[in-house]
Amino acid sequence: MTDLYESSASLPLPEIHGYGLWLRPWDADAENDVQAWLRGYTDPEFQRWNTPLRPIEDRAAAQESLRARAKAAQEGVGASFCVTDATTGVPLGHIGVNDIDHVIRVARVGYWVLPDARGRQVATRALALASRWAFEELGVHRLELGHALGHEASCRIAERCGYPYEGTLRGAMFESGRLDTFRDVHLHARLTTDPEPVLVLP
């Protein structure tokens, strides 16, 4: 019997352009990408709000993590994009459409921005682009966005991109740096039938 939650095809990841950004697939064999991924995961602000199941503390771990992201795309359950400057191609951060359920057409979005790229609405612009792709090209009906309670910046990004707050999930993610204690999560979500938000960018 076929598992209804198993994807039937890999995801051919496109390159997405808009809002001064270029979203492209990460390349585990490109040193610039590996180093950007490592910098993102070792950034103290990232670690404050996220607790990866496997720590990424060196180049080898970063490369392995990127290969796992590529495997998720091959299996049709995840799409990870390197967010870059449209003009220079310099990596600015990451956005992913994760845990894709092709049956009920639901997925989760997640993102981070490198320290030197903050304050430029990179996450807002990337989320708007990735959301449009997921709805129009991937055929997703619902996108969920969860962040640790207290992460006000993520709340603002979600609201700007048309993801209203839906509630608080109790004990739904690990505490910072811990795999044995939990913290609450703010849940935001957007449906394909929701109106497209109008971004106000500087």
Q: For the domain that residue 80 is a member of, what is the CATH number?
A: 3.40.630.30
Rounded CA gap, 121 and 12, in Å? 27
Q: Write out the residue range of the structural domain in which residue 74 sits.
A: 16-191
What letter represents residue 30's amino acid? A
Q: Can you tell me the mean pLDDT for 161-179?
A: 96
State the total domains in the chain. 1
Q: Packing angle between helix 59-74 and helix 31-42, nearest 10 degrees?
A: 100
Does residue 33 lie within any of the structural domains? Answer: yes
Does residue 3 lie within any of the structural domains? Answer: no
In 3D space, the residue among 43, 51, 139, 136 whose CA is nearest the CA of residue 100 turns out to be 139
**pTM of the entire predicted model:** 0.93
Report whether 66 contacts 28 (CB < 8 A).
yes
- Which pLDDT band, with edges at 50, 70 and 90, does 9 fall under? low
Instruction: Answer whether residue 143 shows pLDDT above 70.
Output: yes
Question: What would the pLDDT profile of 49-102 be if each residue is shown by its tens digit?
Answer: 998 888 899 999 999 999 999 999 999 999 999 999 999 999 999 999 999 999
Does residue 8 lie within any of the structural domains? Answer: no
Question: Beta-carbon neighbour count of residue 191 at 10 Å?
Answer: 12
Does residue 7 lie within any of the structural domains? Answer: no
Report whether 140 contacts 134 (CB < 8 A).
yes
Among all chains, which residue has been given the structure tokens 């697939």?
Answer: 25
Instruction: Answer whether residue 2 shows pLDDT above 60.
Output: no
Does residue 30 lie within any of the structural domains? Answer: yes
